[in-house]
Amino acid sequence: MIIGARDCGKTSLANHLNEYEGRLRKVQDTIYSKYTIDVPGSYIENSWMYMHTIALSQDASCILLMVDQSRPEAVYSPGFARVFKCPVIGIISKSDINPENAKACEDQMAQIGVNPPYFYISNETGEGINELKKYILESGWIEYE
């Protein structure tokens, strides 16, 4: 399950993980794909919708929680990651933009309750995507066909 604020790169990451190369499909609905559940940013940006995110997580084998390095605004409540029963992986997206924000992103991950390692990815350049896939595969949460 991929969660994060609006425009942080959730759908692009889902497309990479699902090995989908078609047009980017941006909608304000939860998108169930072959390997991912892409959760709308509004579910995170409005804390009263957290219960929907938690309910959706019951179908997930792991959570990919994203923070956008290009604009590291705090959108999660402190300790948010601890509500999930499955492992939570920290993703710092848009790692090719504003590298001076890297430490702020890591601090935010720690405040949210996500433990390292954190994966720095760029959907534009492809940086970190293969490392993330390898980590997920080796953990056994997803089995690519």
* Token duo for residue 46: 């409005």
Reported as type and span, the H/E element at residue 53 is: helix 50-56
* CATH class of the domain at 2-139: alpha beta
Q: CA 54, CA 37: separation in Å to the nearest integer? A: 12
What is the average pLDDT value for the chain, to the nearest integer?
A: 89
Region of poorest pLDDT, from 15-24, 29-38, 53-62, 65-74: 15-24
Say what the pLDDT of residue 44 is: 84
CA dist list (Å): 102 to 71, 80, 120: 10, 20, 9
DSSP letters of 83-126?
G-SS-EEEEEE-TTS-GGGHHHHHHHHHHHTPPSPEEE--TTT-
For position 25, what pLDDT does the model report?
62
Inter-residue contact 81 to 65 (CB < 8 Å) = yes
pLDDT of residue 18: 87
Residues 48-106: tens digit of each pLDDT:
888 888 888 888 999 999 999 999 888 899 999 999 999 999 999 999 999 999 999 99
Tracing tokens 């991912």 back to the chain, one arrives at 36
DSSP bridge pairs for 67: 92
DSSP 18-51: TT--S-----SS-EE-SS-EE--THHHHSGGGHH
Tokens of 139: 């953990």
CB burial of residue 15 (10 Å; 0-12, 13-18, 19+): buried
